Amino acid sequence: MKTLNFKNIDMVPIANFLGNLTLKNKASRGRSKLIKMLSEKNDERNVEIQEVIDKYAEKDEEGKQVSNEQGNVQWAEGQAEEALAQITDINSEVIGIDYVEYSEKMKNLHVGLEDIDEGLSNSEAVIYDLLMDQLEQSEKTESEGN
């Protein structure tokens, strides 16, 4: 199966990293497809987190969420620990991005990422390594399956 596996919490940094790279032609198209798939998965994650917020947030008399002084969610009395644990679980979940129909584009992205000629900061290097590991693992699994 052609799948990339990432933790929910890593999707936005990966998409941002990819969006800031200068890639040419085919690699750029692969990047665009992967960013789109990451965005869709992130939208699903956001729905799950909003469900937790809706369940555990303190509400006023009108049923609207209450924010604290910093503008963050004010959790209902005694609910913060459970709410934050659930959000942490959601963020830690590993999601699979199946890219069967974009197989060639992901191979082109992989080649393009191998050829980038710019220095990477510490956090960018970590994201690059994570992304390359997944692309390499996916290609290895695919070649073993044939």
Dump pLDDT digits (tens) for 112-140. Answer: 999 888 889 999 999 999 999 999 988 88
Name residues whose C-beta falls within 8 Å of residue 19's C-beta, 6 or more positions apart in sequence: 31, 35
Q: What is the pLDDT of residue 43?
A: 97
Q: What is the pLDDT of residue 101?
A: 87
Q: Is the model more confident about 103 or about 146?
A: 103
- What's the pTM value of the predicted model, to 2 decimals? 0.86
> Which DSSP letter does residue 65 get?
B
Give the C-alpha separation, 37 to 42, whole Å. 9
**Are 1 and 111 within 8 A, CB to CB?**
no
Give the mean pLDDT of 89-104: 93
Q: Is the confidence at residue 143, as pLDDT, over 90?
A: no
17 is in which domain, residue-wise?
3-145
Burial of 145 (0-12, 13-18, 19+ CB in 10 A): exposed
Q: What is the pLDDT of residue 141?
A: 72
What total of structural domains would you count in the chain? Answer: 1
pLDDT in tens, 59-78: 999 989 989 889 899 999 99
Q: What is the pLDDT of residue 7?
A: 96
Q: Which residue has the tokens 């790279």?
A: 21
Give the C-alpha separation, 89 to 33, whole Å. 27
Give the mean pLDDT of 102-109: 92
Mean of pLDDT over the chain: 92
